[in-house]
Structure 1
Amino acid sequence: MATVEKILRSEFPQLDGELFQYVTDVLDSGRLDFESENDLFEAVGELLQDVSGDTKDDEDIRDICQRMYSTMCLSHHVSGRSQVLLQNPIQLSQISNNYDADPEILNVLLMKKDQSSFVDTKKLEKAEAKIKAKQERRTERGSQKVGGTIVMEEASASQAASKKENRMESSGKNKSYDIRIENFDVSFGERVLLTGAELNLASGRRYGLVGRNGLGKTTLLKMLASRSLRVPSHLSILHVEQEVAGDDTPALQSVLECDTLRESLLQEERALNARISAGKGDGSESTRLTEIYAKLEEIEADKAPARASVVLAGLGFKHTMQQQMTKEFSGGWRMRLALARALFARPDLLLLDEPTNMLDVRAILWLETYLQTWPSTILVVSHDRNFLNAVATDIVHLHSQRLEGYRGNFESFLKIKDERLKNQQREYEAQHQYREHIQVFIDRFRYNANRASQVQSKLKLLEKLPELKPLEKETEVVLRFPDGFEKFSPPVLQLDEIDFTYSSDRPIFKNLSVSADLESRICVVGENGAGKSTMLKLLMGELSPVQGVRNAHRNLKIGYFSQHHVDQLDLNICAVELLAKRFPGKTEEEYRHQLGSYGISGELAVRPVVSLSGGQKSRVAFAQMTMPCPNFYILDEPTNHLDMETIEALGRALNKFRGGVILVSHDERFIRLVCQEMWVCENGGVTRIEGGFDEYRDILHEQFRREGFL
C-alpha cells in the first residue's frame, strides 16, 4: 500500500491522520472486491471530492482513482495485518474534546474551513456500507447457508426462441437430428458462465468441449441433459454423470435393460406365452406373437447379449464380473457400468464428462476405438489430448463467456486457433494504425479554416469505424513445486520381497521388490484392481506387508496426492482457512501466496471449497500437499479434473522439481511429458517396461486383437 499512500499524500495533503487512515483501510480491505477503477471511485470518490473542495473536479478524482487502482493491481503484496474500519462517521468536533490541553493538536485536527476539512457524514456512511456489502457478497458467493449447512447455488439457463421453431416443435414436424441452440445464457448463482452463446451440433459428429477449469463445461452438459436448453423433443439424451445404483441385477442384465424396446417386447412375449400355457388365450395371442418375433428379429435382439458383453469386456469387466450383482461393485466400477449402459443404449445425443477419469489405459484405448464408429452425436468434456485427437471430429472452445466451434481434432484446433489469434492481432494493429493516421490529420489541421470540411469528414469517418477491442489472451498457467532437496544415498525408498493381501484367499502382491531414488520419474500403470493404489500405500508405509521389508531414508519427506483427494478437504471453509487450520502459525499473506502458486487467488481463495470446480479443488489439494516442502511425491491420478493447460503446467513443475516422483496416471501425454520409467502392476507383481509407453500400448493392442475386441 506504500505507493497508494504516496498518491494520497501528494494529491490530498489536507487529509488529516484519521481520514487518511480510514481511506487506506477502505482501499486495503476492499482490494479483492475492486473489479475496476469505478468500484474504487464508488468506495472513496465522494469522500475525496469533499476533502479536495474546489481544487479538483470529478474527472480529476476519477484519474486519481484510476492511478490507485492500477497501482493496486500491479502490487502482489497483501497486508497480513487485520483491517479495521471506523464504525461511526468521523466527527472532528468530538475528537477535539480529547485534546483540550494542547492547542497545536487542536489546530491540526480542526482545519480551517477553506481547507475543506468538513466531511458529509451521510456520504461517509454510504461508502462504508458499500464496502461492507461487497465483503458480505464475497463470502456468500458460490454458496449459501441454510440451517448452518452450506447449500450449493443452482445453475440456470435462458434462451431466446423464434416463433417458427416453437411452431415446428409443437406440431411435431421437426424431424432433424441436428441441434441448433442460439442466443442462450447460462449462469451459476450470480456468476454468468455464458452469454449470447450459440451451440450447433450436427448429427453423427463427435464434439470435444474444452476450456479452462471453472468456466462452465460441466454446467453446460447438465443444462442440455435436463433440457433447460431446448433440444428437439424427439431426440434421446443420455448424460453419464452418476454411478449405477447397486441391487441384485447382474451387470450384463443391467446393460441389456437399457434397450427398453427389446425389454418391453420380451416381457410381452413372456406374458402372452404364459396366457397360452394357462389356457386363457382368445386366439389373438398367436398373431401378436408373430408380430413380436418379427420385430425382435428386425432389431437383432438375439445379438444384444453378445454386443453388451463386448462393451463390458472392453471397459474391463471380465466374464465372471459380468454375472456379478451390481451391488457387489465399488463406486468406480459402477461408473464404468453407467458408461457401458450408455454405450449400449446408443442415444441420439451422448454427453460424456471426463469419461477417462474412471478408466485405466487399457480401457481408454478400447473406448477410443469404439467411439470412432459411433453412429450418432457425442459431446464430450475431456482433458486427455490423445483421447480427443482419436475421437473428436470437432472442437467447441468455451472462453470469454461464449462458445467457438472448430473443425477437426484437438491438434487441428490448436493450429487453427493460433492462426486466428495471429490474424486478429494483425487486424487490430492495422486498424489501430489507420485510426492513428486519421487522428494525426485531424490534430494537424483542426484549426485550419481551409481544411475545416476535410477535418469534419475525418471526424465522422473516425466515429463510424468499429470499436477496437484488444486481443484477449488466456493467461499462462504456472505451478511451482518447492524444492526440499538434499542429497541422499540410494535407494531412498524400497520394497524388498513384499507379500501383501487384504484377505487370505486372494493375495495382491507376492515377492514384490521395487526401489526409487530422488532422480526417479516413474509411472505405474495396470488394470483397475491390479494393486496400483495398494502399492503406493505400501511405499508410503500406510499399509503393513504380510512379509518383507519397506526401507525408507530417515530424511525422506513424502507428499501424497490421493485419487480421492476431495475427501481429504474440508468443503465448508474457504481455501485460506483450510491451510490455516492444517498449518497454523503463518500469516494470511503466506497462505494466499501458497494458494496463488496453484492458481487459487483473489476471490477464489475466500470462496467455500464446496463451490469450487473439480479442477479448482485439485489445485487446493496441491497447495495443501506442497506446503511442508516434501522431497518425494507420490501422486495417484493427479490429472483428473484438471484442464489441459494445468496438466501441461503440472508436467513442467514436476520436471523442474529436484526430488523423486512416482505417479499413477492414464493420461498418455502427461506420462510422456514426465516419466522416464514405467511399472506395470499385473499378476501379483510389478513388471518394468523398458520401451516406455509405446511398448505398453503395443502390448495392449495385441491383447485386444487376441481377445477379439478390435
Structure 2
Amino acid sequence: MLQLSDVSLRVGPDPLIEHASLTIHPGQKVGLIGANGSGKSTLFRAIAGDQTLETGEITQPPGWCMGQVAQELPATDTPMLEFVMRGDELYAHARDQVNAAQAQQDDLALTQAWDRMDQIDGYRVEPAAKQMLMGLGFTDADFAKPVCEFSGGWQVRLKLARALMQRSDLLLLDEPTNHLDIEAVAWLIQWLQSFSGALLVISHDRHFLDEVVEGIAHLSNKRLSYYRGNFAAFERQRNEQLMQQQALHDKQKQQMQHLKTFIDRFRAQATKAKQAQSRIKALERMETVAAVQASNQFRFEFFTPAQLPDPMLSVSELRFAYDPSTPAILDQVSLTLRAGDRIGLVGVNGSGKSTLLKCLVGDLTPTKGKVVAAKGLKMAYFAQHQLEALQLDHSPMAHLQQLTHDDGSRVTDQQARDFLGQFGFSGDKALERVKGFSGGEKARLSLALMVFQKPNLLIMDEPTNHLDMETRDALDMALQEFAGALILVTHDQHLLSSLVDQFWWVHQAQVQPFHGSLESYLQQRLQSLKTNSSDPRDVEAGAAGPKSKKATRQAAAQKRQALQKQLAPIKKRLTTLEKEIKVCESALADLHEIMADSALYQADQSDRLQKCLKEEAQWQARQEEAEEQWLLAQENLEAVKLECDA
C-alpha cells in the first residue's frame, strides 16, 4: 500500500501542506480534490519522488510499479501504435529480446524470447492498445503515423494512452479528462472502473469522480482529510461535518461565556475564590472549536438580455472544407436556433463540432451556404483555446478597457475595477500582467470579458478546462440563470446534463438532432467502440470455438517461420552494412591517431597531411553512404514486421 505519514510540503518560504497522512490500499481508487493552488500537483510530485518533503515520509511496497502520464511527448518518428504498446515495459523488454534474437539469427534465443512473450500475455498488448486508442478518439488510420506528427490535444491523449498501458500497481492521473471529448471521458470511466490497480486521481469533474472513486482526499487550509465514498458522499459528509463543527463552536461559546461570567462575579469573594480558580483552569484547558469560516464562494451572473430575437440564427445548406480537393468537414447543414434554446453539441473528436461553432461566430467562412444572424443578436464566444487569445502583457484592466459600453462610451478605471472585483481581480491583481496568471485565473478573466458584453447568445467550446470545482459550480449556476440561448460543447457530463435540453449530433459531416438522453447517446457510442475495435482474431476464435494451447503455439510457430523467411535477406543486408560501417570506423580511428601527432603539422609534412585529410574525407563519405543504406534496410525490416503482425 501507499503510505503518507505526517507529510509536510513547502514551496518557497510558505508551507503548502502540513502533517498530511493518507493510506491507499491495493486496488483502492481515491480522488484528490481541492481549490487551484492548494497543493494537489505538488503532492503528486512528492509521491512520485520529484518533490522534497519538509517532514514525514512516503512509503510503498518494494517492486510496486507506479504509472503516471509523462510531462513531455518525445519527438520521435516511432509509429504511434508501437509507441503506446511500449508503455507496457514487460512487453517492450520482450519485444526487444525478440528483435535482438532475430538480428543475430539465434534460433534458440528467438524461441526463448517468444516463450517469454507468451508468458507475459504479449499477444494481448496490441489489441488492448488499439482498443484504448480508439476509445480515446483515434482511428485505424492513425496507428501507423509517427508520434511527431501529432500535436495539441492529441499529444495529451497519446501520453495518457501510454500511461494506461503500464502494468501499474498504482496509477497517478492529474486532470485526465482535460482535452478529452465527452465520448472519450465515458470510455475512460469504464476503463478505470475495470482497472485492478490502485488509483489516485486529481479531478474537478463531479460525474467522473462519482463514477470512478471510492474515497476522496480533500486538501483545504494546508490540511488533508479523507472521506469514504464518491464525490456526492463527500459533499454530504463535509456539509454534516461543518454543521457539527459550527454547532460545537456555538455550544462551546456559550459554555465559555458562562465560565467567564462566574469568574468575573465571584473572583473577589473569599468564599467563592476556590471555585473561581477551578473555572479559570477549566477555561484555560478548553480547546477552542473554530467557527466555520465562510468560504466567500465565487459567484457571478450574466446580465439580462435587452432583447431576444427569434429565431436567433439560421443556417442554410452550409458546407465547409479547408481545401476544395479534400472531403468536406461539414456538408448540407441546415439549422435554426430559437430564442431560449439550450443546445448540447455532441460528436467524436474531429467530427467538426469546433468547426461548426467557428462558422456560426464568423471565424470561418462557409465554402457554401450561409449563416444568417437575427437583428439584435449579441453573441459571445468562449473558444476551446480561449485562454491563448488573452494578451499576456496586458492586465485584466487593460483587457476590459478594450471593450466599450452599449452606447459606445469607454470603460472608466473605477467601472473596470468594480466589475473585475466580482471575478476575483481586486486591488493590485487587476493591474498584474496576465503572463503570471494560473490557468484558472485566465479562465475567470475570459468569463468576465464574456459577461461584460451582455450577450443574448452564448457559444462555449470546452469552457471548464482549467476551472476548479468552485468556478465550475459558479459557471453552472450562472448558465442556469442565463435568459438567452446557449450552444455548449463540453466533456463535463454533470454540466451538460444540468444545462441543456436538446442535443445536436455532429457525425459524418452532418448535424442532426439526437432524440434521446445523454446517457443513451454515450451508451450507443461505447457499444460502437466495442464493435469497431474488436480484434478480428477474437471474432474468428468466437466463431470457431476456443483454440487449444497447442493449436495456438502451432499457429505462432508458423507465423514465426514466415517472418524469418521474409526477413532473412534484409537481415543479411543489414549485417553486411554493419560490417562495412565498422571497417570505416576502424580506418577513421587509425587516421585520427596519426593526425593527433603534432609532428604531422610541421612545414615539411605538408604532403603527408594532405594525404591524411583526403583519406579521411573518403572514409567519412563511405561511412555516411553505408549508414544511409543501413537506415533504409532497417525501415524495410520494420515494414515487413508490421505487415506480418497485421
Confirm or deny a common fold (TM above 0.5): yes
Change (3 A) 1:264 1:541: same
Aligned to 2:26: 203
Instruction: Name the stretch that deviates more: 551-560 or 391-400.
Output: 551-560
How far apart are the structure 2 equivalents of 1:572 and 1:181? 43
Task: In structure 1, give the amino acid aligned to 2:477.
Answer: R
How high is the sequence identity, in percent, across the aligned residues? Answer: 36
Aligned to 2:283: 462
Change (3 A) 1:538 1:618: same
Aligned to 2:298: 477
How far apart are the structure 2 equivalents of 1:191 and 1:560? 39
Equivalent pair of 1:519/1:660 in contact (CA under 8 Å): yes
Equivalent pair of 2:77/2:147 in contact (CA under 8 Å): yes
Structure 1 residue 252 corresponds to structure 2 residue 72:
no
Change (3 A) 1:270 1:672: closer
- Taking the TM superposition and a 5 Å limit, the aligned residue runs for 1:652-691 are 652-691=477-516
Equivalent pair of 1:354/1:641 in contact (CA under 8 Å): no
Aligned to 2:186: 365
Equivalent pair of 1:184/1:198 in contact (CA under 8 Å): no
Equivalent pair of 2:400/2:411 in contact (CA under 8 Å): no
Count, aligned residues: 524
The alpha-carbon deviation at position 537 of structure 1 amounts to 0.8
Change (3 A) 1:182 1:247: same
Equivalent pair of 2:170/2:197 in contact (CA under 8 Å): yes
Change (3 A) 1:599 1:396: same
Change (3 A) 1:610 1:429: same
- Taking the TM superposition and a 5 Å limit, the aligned residue runs for 1:435-454 are 435-454=256-275
Q: CA RMSD in A?
A: 2.4
Equivalent pair of 1:485/1:659 in contact (CA under 8 Å): no
Change (3 A) 1:401 1:505: same
Equivalent pair of 2:134/2:533 in contact (CA under 8 Å): no
Unmatched 5+ stretches in structure 1: 1-176, 278-284
Change (3 A) 1:645 1:544: same
* CA offset digits 1:489-511 (Å, max 9, x no partner): x2221111111111222111111
How far apart are the structure 1 equivalents of 2:88 and 2:531? 29
Task: In structure 2, give the amino acid aligned to 1:342.
Answer: A
Equivalent pair of 1:354/1:381 in contact (CA under 8 Å): yes
Aligned to 1:237: 66
The alpha-carbon deviation at position 235 of structure 1 amounts to 4.0
The alpha-carbon deviation at position 592 of structure 1 amounts to 2.4
* CA offset digits 1:542-601 (Å, max 9, x no partner): 211111111012322211111111211122343234334566943333222222222333
Aligned to 1:129: none
Change (3 A) 1:661 1:296: same
Equivalent pair of 2:312/2:374 in contact (CA under 8 Å): yes
SS in 2 for 1:663: strand
Change (3 A) 1:600 1:220: farther
How far apart are the structure 1 equivalents of 2:321 and 2:105? 55
How far apart are the structure 1 equivalents of 2:333 and 2:378? 23
- Taking the TM superposition and a 5 Å limit, the aligned residue runs for 1:632-651 are 632-651=457-476
Task: In structure 1, give the amino acid aligned to 2:176.
Answer: P
* CA offset digits 1:343-374 (Å, max 9, x no partner): 00133332222211221121111111110122
Aligned to 2:216: 395
Q: Tell me which of 519, 528, 542 is aligned to 1:703.
A: 528
Q: Tell me which of 33, 37, 43 is aligned to 1:214.
A: 37
Change (3 A) 1:607 1:239: farther
How far apart are the structure 2 equivalents of 1:258 and 1:572? 40
How far apart are the structure 2 equivalents of 1:603 and 1:213? 20
How far apart are the structure 2 equivalents of 1:274 and 1:705? 37
- Taking the TM superposition and a 5 Å limit, the aligned residue runs for 1:333-372 are 333-372=154-193
Task: In structure 1, give the amino acid aligned to 2:307.
Answer: E
Equivalent pair of 1:258/1:345 in contact (CA under 8 Å): yes
Equivalent pair of 2:44/2:172 in contact (CA under 8 Å): yes
- Taking the TM superposition and a 5 Å limit, the aligned residue runs for 1:21-36 are none
Q: Tell me which of 419, 435, 439 is aligned to 1:614.
A: 439
Aligned to 1:182: 6
Task: In structure 1, give the amino acid aligned to 2:32.
Answer: L
How far apart are the structure 2 equivalents of 1:369 and 1:264? 29
* CA offset digits 1:301-337 (Å, max 9, x no partner): 1221112112112112222222222223231111111
Q: TM-score, normalised by structure 2?
A: 0.76
How far apart are the structure 1 equivalents of 2:534 and 2:226? 33
Structure 1 residue 513 corresponds to structure 2 residue 337:
no
The alpha-carbon deviation at position 194 of structure 1 amounts to 2.0
Aligned to 1:27: none
The alpha-carbon deviation at position 252 of structure 1 amounts to 0.7
Q: Tell me which of 244, 249, 259 is aligned to 1:423.
A: 244
Unmatched 5+ stretches in structure 2: 536-646
Q: Tell me which of 141, 152, 161 is aligned to 1:320.
A: 141
- Taking the TM superposition and a 5 Å limit, the aligned residue runs for 1:548-563 are 548-563=369-384
The alpha-carbon deviation at position 447 of structure 1 amounts to 2.1
Change (3 A) 1:495 1:223: farther
SS in 2 for 1:544: coil
How far apart are the structure 1 equivalents of 2:533 and 2:146? 25
Change (3 A) 1:525 1:243: farther
Aligned to 1:55: none
Q: Tell me which of 298, 303, 321 is aligned to 1:501.
A: 321
Equivalent pair of 2:317/2:369 in contact (CA under 8 Å): yes
Equivalent pair of 1:350/1:377 in contact (CA under 8 Å): yes
Q: Tell me which of 182, 190, 194 is aligned to 2:17.
A: 194
The alpha-carbon deviation at position 226 of structure 1 amounts to 4.8
